[in-house]
Chain A
Amino acid sequence: MLEVKDLRASIEDKEILTGFSLNIKPGEVHAIMGPNGAGKSTVGNVLSGRDAYEVTAGDIGFQGEDLLGMLPEDRAKAGLFLSFQYPVEIPGVSNMEFLKTSVDTVREHRGLPALDTVAFMKLAREKCKQVDLELSFLKRGVNEGFSGGEKKRNEMMQMLLLEPSLCILDEVDSGLDIDALQVVAKCVNSMRSPERSFLLITHYQRLLDYIVPDFVHVLAKGRIVKSGGKDLALELEEKGYGWIDGVESST
């Protein structure tokens, strides 16, 4: 599904990823944990193709294709999805119009017929219910005036609608109360399948109680310094990051 080899990436000439490698096979759920400043969010941003980051070395293969050669929109069409840590507010563009345009584009890429408005409305209503958002949120501007939790639910709704093959969730748990966290976990768990993979980027172990990963990696100073099974997360929760080689200070 995803093969990252010795990735180096910088922003404004500051190197953040310093030889990051990661292999995700179809159906697997991986979690990346690490102290603040380790470069966790950069992983998601570089994978999704944000302009501000410059990749200076390394390769990324996504479903056999060269991801680095693809535009952000083409990555999304190919089935890569990033749930933003801070989803952007876009006043004036209705959530409904945004979702429909996005779904239409992705469906077209997959050779599926466009959904007519009625069919799309039906689908959107269904997904609204699933993420526990009022239908009125479809009419509002994209994320406009949404609370932190509502923004994350909206991200989950997009994930449900777009049915991506690789879902990257960047700090999806930050700022969420326990109810919202459960909604997020339910979405992810309902979408788990042998064809779909997940990459959870998180600071806290709490999320992993609800979404149980197959692999846990510790990111420090821009590369993975330790990998293990789900128990590694518990160990980190107990001991912090300081005991791992390559992590300077505990957080």
Chain B
Amino acid sequence: MTYSLVEKKVPFTLSAATLVESRSRSSQTSWLNDFRREALSQFQSQPWPTRKTESWKYTSLAALSEESYQGEVSEIEGKDVVSSQLSFDGLEGLKLVFVDGVFNQFLSSDESALSADVSGLICQRFSELDDAAKADVQATLGQVVDSENHLFAAHNNAMLQDGLLLKVLKNTKIEKPIQVIHYSTRQTAPCLTIARLVVVVEEGAELTVVERFGSSSETQNGFVNSLTECVVGSNAQLNHYRIHLEDETAQHVGGVHVNLLANSRLNSFQAGLGSVLKRVDVVVNHIEPGAHCELSGIYLPKNKQRIDFHTDIQHRAAHCTTNEVFRGIMADEAKATFNGRIYIHPHAQQTLAELSNKNLLLSNRAEVNTKPELEIYADDVKCAHGATVSQLDGEAIAYLRSRGISREKAELMMSYGFINELVESIKIEPIKQYMTQVLDSWFGQEQ
């Protein structure tokens, strides 16, 4: 198979072609060959985003297009990995760890726990699917995400090698969270890491998934493309935590795409820290009536980091609700972008949707671009959105100072509180505790 790539003049796409060839030869997932080939041509037919591409206006991909990411991952046994990067103290439940995109059994829950059933749960990697699970993957893979409009989803599809299926059977509640942990290291030559997760929560079932992206503290040279697709069945519930705690040199473009069926519920929490390039797209489709989406997130870039969240909530059915809250603090010379869209389709009557985005700038050189977008094509809906960029409330600082608290400490308490309000709402105690420690260290308050 040949590809006419030369005219694209983008090394990044060129490398995609050679890699997809080598990945097609991988026998374990040869059943994905057609999927990959189609995706590659889709990827190639889309223009490479520039500053003039509206959805990429504030996200520079300059760093990416200079590198080919053709390095081969050399596997590690996992002994060198700092364990605190891989776990949340006190959090029980299955854990699957991928290092540079490769499943690592030393760092994951042991084989017996993985294969043995938490009853009603199917947890299998794409490289070892049984026929039933393969059918599940094929029914969902690439179906939730609109890869025609998400370039890096098409890229993920094309480059897909291994992935993970999590499926909960009808009316089953999985009590303990499933942790899916991605850890990146510095490789000899820059590598591409493709992470892929498919989550299927059947009718009346409930699942909690904790996705975590971390890296070693050395200078990162790889690129991570992660994509998660979820289908939440009628009357089902998915609790989704996605926590990015990568080194500040990391480069990561990720997507979370969720379909909500009748009366289902999504509780989602996103956290973004670290990275010289981090962009996460969260797309939620209210497909059937009565679905509810609770989406919150925090982003805390400092130094010269760049963190972008793009959310797109599509109300395609009536009687659905969305409550979305994102907050960010930008320090030093950091930049962030928040683009939150809520789209109400013509027949999505009785929609209740709210979007709030608040930002705090801690330095004159920090920058945030926030763009809430509300598009309403139904006449009987209640929607509100708001975005603010501000500095700390002077009245409040004066109040704290009048009680003996220094200006510096007052500012710290208030900015901490600004983010902590969202961390406090995390329902899983070990994750809340962990995030509190992350905040303490971000604000330089390590105990």
Contact = CB atoms under 8 A, between A and B. Distances in A.
Nearest to A87: B399
A90 B421 CA distance: 11
A98 B403 contact: yes
Contacts of A84: 399, 402
B404 interface: yes
Contact of A91 (B402, B406, B421): B421
A90 B404 contact: no
B417 interface: yes
B413 A72 contact: no
A19 B406 CA distance: 30
A197 interface: no
Contacts of B398: 50-51, 72, 88
A109 B414 CA distance: 23
Nearest to A71: B401
24 contacts: A50-B398, A71-B401, A72-B401, A73-B403, A75-B402, A88-B395, A88-B396, A89-B396, A90-B414, A90-B417, A91-B417, A92-B414, A92-B421, A93-B417, A94-B417, A97-B413, A98-B403, A101-B413, A102-B405, A105-B404, A105-B405, A105-B406, A141-B417, A141-B421
Among the interface residues B398, B414, B421, which one has the most CB atoms of the partner chain A within 10 A? B398
Interface in B396-447: 396, 398-407, 409, 413-414, 416-421
A51 B407 CA distance: 12
A91 B325 CA distance: 15
5 closest A-B pairs by beta carbon, nearest first, are A92-B417, A76-B404, A93-B417, A102-B403, A88-B399
A158 interface: yes
Given A88-B395, A88-B396, A93 B414 contact: yes
B417 A76 contact: no
Contacts of B416: 92-93
A109 B404 CA distance: 9
Interface of A: 48-51, 71-73, 75-77, 82, 84, 87-94, 97-98, 101-102, 105-106, 109, 141-142, 158, 162
Given A72-B398, A87-B399, A92-B421, A98 B404 contact: no
A97 B418 CA distance: 14
B396 A76 contact: no
Contacts of A76: 401-404
Given A90-B414, A92-B414, A93-B413, A72 B420 contact: no
Contacts of A98: 400, 403, 413
Given A76-B404, A101-B409, A102-B400, 8 more contacts: A48-B402, A73-B404, A90-B399, A92-B416, A93-B413, A93-B414, A94-B417, A105-B409
Contacts of B405: 73, 101-102, 105
A20 B31 CA distance: 88
Interface of B: 393-396, 398-407, 409, 413-414, 416-421
Given A87-B399, A88-B399, A102 B421 contact: no
Contact of A73 (B396, B406, B418): B406
Interface centre among B395, B401, B407, B418, by most A CB within 10 Å? Answer: B401
Contacts of B409: 101, 105
Nearest to B399: A88
B406 to A, nearest CB: 5
A86 to B, nearest CB: 9
Contact of B403 (A89, A109, A162): A162
A73 B407 contact: yes
Nearest to B406: A73
B404 A102 contact: yes
Nearest to B410: A73
Contact of B418 (A50, A51, A92, A109): A92
Contacts of B395: 88
Contacts of B414: 90, 92-93
A117 B417 CA distance: 19
Contacts of A73: 401-407
A162 B413 contact: no
Contacts of A87: 399
A102 B419 CA distance: 21
A77 B421 CA distance: 29
A77 B407 CA distance: 13
Nearest to A51: B398
A147 B111 CA distance: 57
Contacts of A48: 402
Contacts of A141: 417, 421
Nearest to B420: A92
A101 B400 CA distance: 10
Contacts of B402: 48-49, 72-73, 75-76, 82, 84
Nearest to B417: A92
Contacts of A105: 403-406, 409
A50 to B, nearest CB: 6
Contacts of B401: 49, 71-73, 76
A163 B407 CA distance: 22
Contacts of B420: 92
A91 B414 CA distance: 8
Contacts of B421: 91-92, 141
A88 B414 CA distance: 13
